[in-house]
Amino acid sequence: MTRRRDVLRSLAALLLAAACGRSAEPAGTSERTATAPRGGGGTKFASQTLLSDEILWDLGPQVRDRVVAVSSLADDPRYSLRPNLWPAEVPRIATGSEALVALEPDVVIVATFTAPEVRERLTHLGLELLVLPPMTGTAAYRRSVEAIAARAEAPEAGRELVARFETAFASHGRVRGIDPPSIVAYAAGVVAGSGTTFDEAARHTGWVNAAAAAAIAGHAKVDPERLLDWSPDAVVIPCGEDCGAAVAAFVALPGFDRLDAVRHDRVVAVPDPVLHATGFGLVDLAARLAAACDGIVPPGEVEAR
């Protein structure tokens, strides 16, 4: 323990020495937080993924108080569904930065996609890593919640959160008879095939994911010709601030005016953070997909699963 303190102290000193160059995470922040850490006792968490930012908050005030850092993307509206969720005094820390170490967390929550050298270094510095599973859908979300809740010694809060999520998600479930409409998520040439969050949400709400039906697994770049081949009933595209402009830009792409989805005005623009949601945002995605599907298949045939 004392050795670790020494390591941390020398790191902090190094940070101070290099303070001028590091505007994003000034050494002053780490100094302050280090001397007056958030939360009284218990395990201190530093979250390095958007999903764990969200789960830690949703686990309730008991857990929230023990969070010493959230990810640097937490407030970015392009990626985060709930920007400015966390109070300003919780530092936003970029992956693997020295400032993170200076906050002296007990557990750092990272993802499988976190760079191996970053994970290696954090482990080397004596920090415990909690690695979230690949974010492929509701099952992964459930496992992530359970893992974090267990480590935070709040399994009850975890069970509650999972139950709340599953009820909400299930409420958008649809079955569309023998010939369900097809849909494709298309983001700058990349489609979401099987084993993606989109695929699960689409199937759950009664769609056929045309990309998965064409044996595409994961996110893959496809030629625009294949999209014309599939000619799905609807296309989902991501959008930033101006979703109308995103639809117009998609329709203007060469050849796409011949798509059934375009002809029938079924290009659904979904804000980036919703389309790429890995956590509770999946409910929002499912709601949008269900609503879009209700517009194609008459509501009379729709029956809740």
Query: For tokens 């979904």, what's the residue?
Result: 270
> Scanning residues 101 to 160, which ones bind another protein (CB under 8 A)?
none
Does 100 sit near another protein (CB under 8 A)?
no
Which residues touch 192 (CB under 8 Å, ≥6 apart)? 185, 198, 199, 209, 211, 218, 219
Find the largest Cα–Cα distance for the chain: 69
Q: Closest separation between CB of residue 163 and another protein, Å?
A: 33
Phi-psi group of 278: left, alpha or beta (phi > 0 → left; psi -120 to 50 → alpha; rest → beta):
alpha
Q: Closest separation between CB of residue 140 and another protein, Å?
A: 21
Q: Closest separation between CB of residue 8 and another protein, Å?
A: 25
Distance of alpha carbon 58 from its chain centroid, rounded? 14
Does 221 sit near another protein (CB under 8 A)?
yes
In sequence order, the β-bridge partners of residue 173 are: none
Does 222 sit near another protein (CB under 8 A)?
yes
Structure tokens that stand for 237 in this block: 């595209």
**Mask: binding to another protein, 152-191, rule CB under 8 A, as x and -?**
-------------------------------------x--
Gap between the Cα atoms of 146 and 154, Å rounded: 9
Query: For tokens 């499912």, what's the residue?
Result: 286
Q: Contact with another protein (CB under 8 A): which of 20, 223, 299, 300? A: 223
Nearest CB to another protein, comparing residues 113 and 167: 113
Residues that bind another protein (CB under 8 A): 73, 76, 79, 94, 189, 220-226, 228-229, 231, 240, 242, 245, 249, 252-255, 257-258
